[in-house]
Structure 1
Amino acid sequence: MSAGSTYERLLSGSQGGGLEHAGGGGAPGPPDPERLIAQLSDEVGRLEEHLGKRADPAARERLMRGAEHALREVADHGGDARLDMRDIAKLEAVVHSDGTRPVLFVEDDFFDVMAPAAANWTASLSLVQAELRTVCRAVGRVNDPNSLLGYQGTAWAIDDGVVATNYHVLELISTRPSRTDGGFDGELKPGVAVDFGAEVGGGPSDRAFRISRVLGVGRAGAPERAHPTVPRINFDGLDLAVLELEPVSGRPFPAPVQVARGDDPATRGALASRGRGVYIVGFPGSAESTRPDVFAELFAGVKGVKRLTPGVLTEGRGEVDGDARRWIISHDASTLGGSSGSLVVDLEAGGRKVLGLHFAGVPNRVNWAHGLEGATPELAAAIPGWRSP
Structure 2
Amino acid sequence: MAVDVALLKRATVARRSTGNEAVSVAPAGPPARYLIVSPQGGAAEAARRLELLFGDEPVEINRLDAEQLVLVFPGRSFPLGLENASAAEQVGDEIREALGARLVAPDLPRQAAPVMPDWVPGLESTDNFPLGCWVAEEADLNQRPLWALDTLKVREAWRLSQSMGRPAMGEGIVIAQPDTGITGHVELSDVKLAGAFNTLGDGPADAATDPLDTGFALNPGHGTGTGSVAVSRSRDQAGRLVGTAPLASHMPIRALRSVWAHEELPIAQAVDLATEKGAHVITMSLGGVALPFSPLRAAIRRAVAKNVIVMAAAGNCVGIVVYPARFAECIAVGGTNQRDGKWPGSCSGPAVDISAPAQNVFRASVEPRPMGSIGQGQGTSFAVALLSGVAACWLAHHGRARLIAEAQARGETLQTMFRRLARATARRPAGWDAANLGAGIVDAEALLKAPFDLGLGTESPAFEAESREPADEMRVFVTQLLGADPELDDEMLLRHGSALAEALLALRLDPAATPALPAVLTAALKGPLAIRPGPALVPPALHMTDLDALAAQAEQADRIRRALAFGKAVSAGDSIESAAGGGATALPDAAELSARLDQLLARPDHRTPQERADFEKAVELVRLHGINGVEKLADPKALVAPSELAAAEAVVKADGSRPSFLLRKGEVDPGDPFAGSWGDRMIARRQDIATRAALCGRIQPTRGHANRYCGTGALVDPGGPWVLSNFHVIQQALKSYPLFNFPTERGLRITGGLEIDFVAETDATETNRWSIEEAVFPNMAGEGFHSIDAVLLRLGKSLDGKPLPAQEPGHMIDRIVFSPVNGLVTGEMPLLAVIGFPSRPPQNTGIVDGIDWGWVVGQLFGGRFGVKRLAPGEFYRGLGSHPQDAETRFAFGHDATTMKGSSGSFAFSLTEAESPAFGLHFAGYDNDSNFALTTAALLQGFEGRGVAFP
TM-score range, shorter chain: 0.7 to 0.9
For 2:781 and 2:742, the matched residues in 1 are separated by 8
For 2:653 and 2:679, the matched residues in 1 are separated by 14
For 1:317 and 1:325, the matched residues in 2 are separated by 9
What is aligned with 1:307?
Answer: 869
For 1:65 and 1:83, the matched residues in 2 are separated by 16
What is aligned with 2:916?
Answer: 353
Task: List runs of 5+ in structure 2 lacking aligned partners.
Answer: 1-553, 807-813, 847-852
- Where 1:64 maps in the other structure, the secondary structure is helix
What is aligned with 1:239?
Answer: 789
- Where 1:355 maps in the other structure, the secondary structure is strand
Can you list the C-alpha shifts for 1:93-139, whole angstroms capped at 9, x where unaligned?
A: 32123221111111111101112322422222322222211111011
Can you list the C-alpha shifts for 1:300-335, whole angstroms capped at 9, x where unaligned?
A: 650111111111111243554433233211101111
1:292, distance to aligned residue in structure 2 (A): 3.1
User: Which amino acid counterpart does residue 725 of structure 2 have in structure 1?
Assistant: T
For 1:318 and 1:384, the matched residues in 2 are separated by 27
Alignment of 1:105-184 (within 5 A): 105-144=662-701, 149-160=707-718, 161-175=721-735, 183-184=746-747
User: Which amino acid counterpart does residue 802 of structure 2 have in structure 1?
Assistant: R
Contact 1:285 1:296 in 2 (8 A): no
**2:558 maps to 1:5:** yes
More off after superposition, 175-184 vs 122-131: 175-184
What is aligned with 1:280?
Answer: 834
Q: 1:244 to 1:204 in 2, by over 3 A?
A: farther
User: Which amino acid counterpart does residue 196 of structure 1 have in structure 2?
Assistant: F
1:252 to 776, 796, 803: 803
Q: Which has the higher contact order (CA 8 A, sep 6+)?
A: 1
TM-score by length of 1: 0.81
2:659 to 102, 113, 119: 102
For 2:705 and 2:670, the matched residues in 1 are separated by 34
What is aligned with 1:212?
Answer: 773
Can you list the C-alpha shifts for 1:38-63, whole angstroms capped at 9, x where unaligned?
A: 323433553x52x4545352453144
For 1:382 and 1:110, the matched residues in 2 are separated by 36
Q: 1:149 to 1:157 in 2, by over 3 A?
A: same
2:939 to 370, 376, 379: 376
Cα RMSD (Å) of the superposition? 3.5
More off after superposition, 102-111 vs 285-294: 285-294
Contact 2:622 2:651 in 1 (8 A): no
Q: How many residues align?
A: 366
Can you list the C-alpha shifts for 1:174-199, whole angstroms capped at 9, x where unaligned?
A: 159999998335x7595321111111
- Where 1:358 maps in the other structure, the secondary structure is strand
User: Which amino acid counterpart does residue 114 of structure 1 have in structure 2?
Assistant: G
- Where 1:214 maps in the other structure, the secondary structure is strand
- Where 1:172 maps in the other structure, the secondary structure is helix
Q: 1:5 to 1:349 in 2, by over 3 A?
A: closer
- Where 1:16 maps in the other structure, the secondary structure is helix
**2:899 maps to 1:324:** no
For 1:71 and 1:36, the matched residues in 2 are separated by 7
**2:620 maps to 1:64:** yes
Contact 2:628 2:644 in 1 (8 A): no
Can you list the C-alpha shifts for 1:134-177, whole angstroms capped at 9, x where unaligned?
A: 11101111123689931111111111121111111101111599
Q: 1:213 to 1:53 in 2, by over 3 A?
A: farther
More off after superposition, 273-282 vs 305-314: 273-282
For 2:689 and 2:946, the matched residues in 1 are separated by 24
For 1:128 and 1:372, the matched residues in 2 are separated by 22
User: Which amino acid counterpart does residue 839 of structure 2 have in structure 1?
Assistant: G
User: Which amino acid counterpart does residue 251 of structure 1 have in structure 2?
Assistant: K
What is aligned with 1:200?
Answer: 762
Contact 1:261 1:376 in 2 (8 A): no
Q: 1:381 to 1:135 in 2, by over 3 A?
A: farther
Q: 1:23 to 1:115 in 2, by over 3 A?
A: closer
What is aligned with 1:339?
Answer: 902
User: Which amino acid counterpart does residue 282 of structure 1 have in structure 2?
Assistant: G
1:206, distance to aligned residue in structure 2 (A): 3.0
Contact 1:343 1:356 in 2 (8 A): yes
Q: 1:4 to 1:195 in 2, by over 3 A?
A: same
Q: 1:137 to 1:384 in 2, by over 3 A?
A: same
Q: 1:383 to 1:204 in 2, by over 3 A?
A: farther
Q: 1:294 to 1:140 in 2, by over 3 A?
A: farther
1:19, distance to aligned residue in structure 2 (A): 6.6
Contact 1:182 1:216 in 2 (8 A): no
Q: Which structure dedicates a bigger proportion of its chain to strand?
A: 1
Q: Which structure dedicates a bigger proportion of its chain to helix?
A: 2
What is aligned with 2:145?
Answer: none
- Where 2:789 maps in the other structure, the secondary structure is coil
Contact 1:89 1:292 in 2 (8 A): no
1:210, distance to aligned residue in structure 2 (A): 1.9
User: Which amino acid counterpart does residue 591 of structure 2 have in structure 1?
Assistant: E
What is aligned with 1:224?
Answer: none
For 1:379 and 1:294, the matched residues in 2 are separated by 41
For 1:316 and 1:189, the matched residues in 2 are separated by 40
For 2:792 and 2:715, the matched residues in 1 are separated by 10
For 1:107 and 1:4, the matched residues in 2 are separated by 33
For 1:147 and 1:89, the matched residues in 2 are separated by 30
For 1:182 and 1:33, the matched residues in 2 are separated by 59
- Where 1:14 maps in the other structure, the secondary structure is helix
User: Which amino acid counterpart does residue 714 of structure 2 have in structure 1?
Assistant: W
Bigger CA radius of gyration: 2
For 2:860 and 2:882, the matched residues in 1 are separated by 36
- Where 1:373 maps in the other structure, the secondary structure is helix
More off after superposition, 153-162 vs 86-95: 86-95
- Where 1:376 maps in the other structure, the secondary structure is helix
Can you list the C-alpha shifts for 1:68-112, whole angstroms capped at 9, x where unaligned?
A: 21321330354434332x544443332123221111111111101
- Where 1:121 maps in the other structure, the secondary structure is helix
